[in-house]
């Protein structure tokens, strides 16, 4: 689908300028494109013992560690997602959009995808077999036509009663021609699900913290970044998850772009500069999402290693899949340093978490409104993958993660989506390196570089900042009333104190909403300059 500041290390200013692509507040950076494309990735460092030169905001890891492991991570994931268990995916791409009647269907050939006949799918992974195996997960389901969610879910899941099978290894995520008002409406609606009033501008415009090295605890990381002890941490994390997903998708579109003159596919440097490099914070969010996903994989590692990946009956593919997966889990244990226990704490934590889940669930439903089949497929997979990671981090305790006690904890579709989504983000970082090589190859032609930057500035100036339309804004909120009411009744039934807290929170939100009528937040526009 077309589509912040961090504490620098105790290094000399010159070293910072040479080594960091996000060494200062991106809003105040004079040369953001140079900061991104002139950056030289680090190699062979470790979160635990390296001298960090770029802590990733709201994590316990730094850019250099992610860069040092990404080659190995990408190589393993690239092979893993081509193995039978992870490449076959069943999904319903024709469920009706719940928010507006016209999905702006894409007629471009690039939007079309080919299904796989069910006879080619190993029998044990077909919908009929999975429904028998996953019967224990039918408890606490909240049903909608063709999909459902459980109380612990951050997304809507297909119920496997409808849908086709796809071989994901044959469907690259790339430019499709799906753009303009229809794609803009989808992204605008997604950003409007950021109900917390956080925008790119107010996330990045705060004062830069003092020079520090990588913090030892997540609490310290939040404090150093100007956090207020828990009140806004979840809001910032939510925004970064959404914006990082958008930036990663944009990177894939630019990495696999169609040259209209030659008819050939390849990287488009101008596209990348326009959409990502000229806004370095977007690249930061790709790193943030990568760390978050790695932490989820590390935490669910024993469960993943206990899964049955055999498709042929001779267990050779099972052993090969487990070998690659074990490498990925090992990398995740090193680089996935994110302390989920710091979030959703305090007297209103449960209310905030329910709100967080409800809004992310709606993001997954908005994917049914994407008019391009290929974009809808990858949008649904990646929102499911991120939602699965969020569930692993914020809903499942150590007892629940025991693969012996809960062998049906996750649906197969969630496992496949999680690994494919991590692959998408890792591949985005790999693509950034390719763009840096293209930029480096132009080292003798500063005039050509300047031309690319000027074109990016023109594109940003020409990009309108649309106001939300009734179809894209109000309808999703109206249709959530039943969900909000059900959640309210459930909280009040379980706890009088929780019920009173919810009443106070709703009263406070009403006052904030009234105040927002006079103070535009900018959140309805998405990140400034994103070409949609």
Task: State how far the alpha carbon of 243 is from the alpha carbons of 39, 112, 185, 530, in Å.
Answer: 22, 26, 16, 10
Provide the CA 221 distance to its chain's centre, in angstroms.
Answer: 21
Residue 187, token pair as written in the block: 């992204």
Single out the catalytic residue among 310, 375, 492, 499.
Answer: 375
CA–CA distance, 388 with 410 (Å, rounded to integer): 9
Q: Is 310 annotated as catalytic? A: no
Q: Helices (H) and strands (E) in the chain — how many of each? A: 20, 7
Facing residues of 90 across strands?
Answer: 165
- Which of 47, 310, 372, 492 is catalytic? The answer is 372
The number of CA neighbours under 13 Å toward the Cβ of 264 is 4
Strands (E), 362-450: none
C-beta atoms surrounding 447 within 10 Å: 8
Q: Is 232 one of the annotated active-site residues of the chain?
A: no
Report how far residue 125's alpha carbon sits from residue 411's, in angstroms, rounded to the nearest whole number. Answer: 11
Do residues 262 and 287 make contact, with C-beta atoms less than 8 angstroms apart? no
Residues 310, 318 contacting (CB under 8 angstroms): yes
**CA 154 from centre of chain:** 13
Give the integer Cα–Cα distance in Å for 83 and 76: 11
- Reduced DSSP (H G I as helix, E B as strand, rest coil) percent helix, strand, coil of the chain, to 5: 55, 5, 40
Active-site residues, by number, are 372, 375
């Amino acid at each position: 689908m077309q589509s912040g500041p961090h504490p620098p290390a105790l290094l000399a200013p010159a070293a910072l300028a040479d080594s960091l692509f996000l060494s200062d507040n991106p809003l105040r950076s004079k040369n953001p494109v140079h900061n991104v494309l002139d950056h030289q990735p680090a190699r062979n460092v470790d979160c635990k013992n390296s001298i960090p030169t770029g802590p990733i905001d709201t994590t316990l890891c730094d850019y250099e560690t992610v860069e040092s492991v990404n080659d190995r991570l990408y190589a393993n994931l690239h092979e893993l997602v081509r193995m039978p268990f992870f490449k076959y995916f069943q999904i319903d791409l024709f469920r009706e959009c719940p928010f507006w009647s016209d999905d702006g269907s894409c007629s471009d050939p690039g939007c079309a995808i080919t299904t796989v006949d069910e006879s080619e799918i190993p029998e044990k992974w077909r919908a009929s077999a999975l429904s028998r195996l996953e019967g224990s997960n039918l408890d606490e389901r909240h049903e909608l036509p063709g999909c459902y969610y459980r109380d612990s879910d951050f997304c809507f899941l297909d119920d496997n009663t409808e849908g086709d099978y796809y071989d994901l290894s044959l469907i690259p995520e790339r430019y499709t021609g799906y753009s303009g008002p229809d794609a803009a409406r989808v992204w605008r609606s997604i950003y409007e699900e950021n109900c917390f009033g956080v925008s790119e501008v107010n996330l990045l415009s705060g004062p830069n913290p003092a020079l520090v090295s990588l913090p030892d605890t997540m609490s310290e990381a939040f404090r150093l970044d100007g956090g207020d002890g828990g009140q806004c941490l979840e809001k910032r994390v939510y925004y970064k998850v959404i914006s990082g997903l958008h930036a990663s998708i944009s990177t894939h579109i630019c990495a696999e772009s169609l040259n209209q003159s030659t008819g050939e596919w390849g990287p488009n440097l101008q596209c990348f500069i326009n959409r990502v490099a000229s806004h370095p914070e977007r690249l930061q969010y790709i790193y943030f999402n990568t760390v978050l996903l790695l932490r989820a994989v590390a935490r669910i590692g024993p469960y993943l290693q206990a899964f049955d990946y055999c498709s042929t009956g001779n267990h050779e593919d099972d052993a090969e899949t487990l070998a690659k997966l074990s490498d990925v889990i090992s990398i995740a244990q090193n680089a996935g340093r994110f302390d989920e226990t710091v979030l959703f704490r305090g007297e209103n934590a449960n209310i905030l978490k329910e709100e967080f889940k409800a809004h992310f669930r709606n993001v997954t439903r908005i994917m049914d409104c994407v008019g391009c089949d290929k974009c809808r497929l990858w949008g649904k997979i990646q929102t499911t993958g991120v939602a699965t990671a969020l569930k692993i981090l914020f809903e499942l305790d150590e007892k629940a993660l025991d693969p012996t006690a809960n062998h049906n904890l996750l649906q197969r579709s969630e496992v496949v989506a999680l690994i494919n989504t991590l692959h998408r983000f890792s591949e985005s970082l790999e693509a950034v390196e390719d763009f840096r090589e293209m930029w480096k190859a132009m080292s003798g032609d500063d005039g050509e570089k300047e031309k690319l930057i000027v074109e990016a500035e023109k594109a940003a100036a020409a990009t309108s900042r649309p106001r939300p339309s009734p179809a894209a804004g109000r309808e999703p909120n109206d249709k959530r009333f039943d969900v909000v009411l059900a959640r309210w009744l459930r909280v009040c039934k379980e706890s009088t104190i929780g019920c009173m807290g919810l009443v106070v929170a709703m009263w406070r939100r009403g006052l904030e909403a009234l105040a927002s009528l006079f103070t535009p937040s900018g959140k309805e526009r998405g990140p400034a300059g994103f070409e949609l």
